[in-house]
Structure 1
């Protein structure tokens, strides 16, 4: 009878040890899975940050180009106004010449 109890006790100890090992394996697996999930999320966040930074860089480049185009457009408008003023001056001079020629012929 002592052998049976002792074997039963040993069996229970072995079973308890196996349960403990199994629980440890499950816990480690869950931990590994969580780390993989969090690592994946971190990779996604890092990629999103990279994409955002690249978009900001492209926006800054586009802004610089826009400012250059607007500056060129303003320069063109100023040049057109200057040409318009010169044309108006030339017309005034020609009108004066015509008026003077007309008065001289009378």
Structure 2
């Protein structure tokens, strides 16, 4: 990874963080909890993929439609997150595979 890649990655992350900060407080709180949850259990390519920006897109659409955040995600936010990553490889999967060898 070159310095240019690192700088570009930081720019993208800052732009992403600015979009999150622009969300209404209830959406922002749920997003931050989802992000925390996904970093603990989530897919191996979480930072490289489109999952987090996709969640922000989805939330921005909910805001534009005038919906509350729990109308968008449902009341069980962890189950919503699990559904998003159900077909993704997680770090737990990698660990289990390394133990099975």
TM-score, length basis structure 1: 0.26
TM-score, length basis structure 2: 0.27
| Larger Rg over CA atoms | 1
Q: Which protein, 1 or 2, shows the higher relative CO under an 8 Å CA cutoff with sep ≥ 6?
A: 2
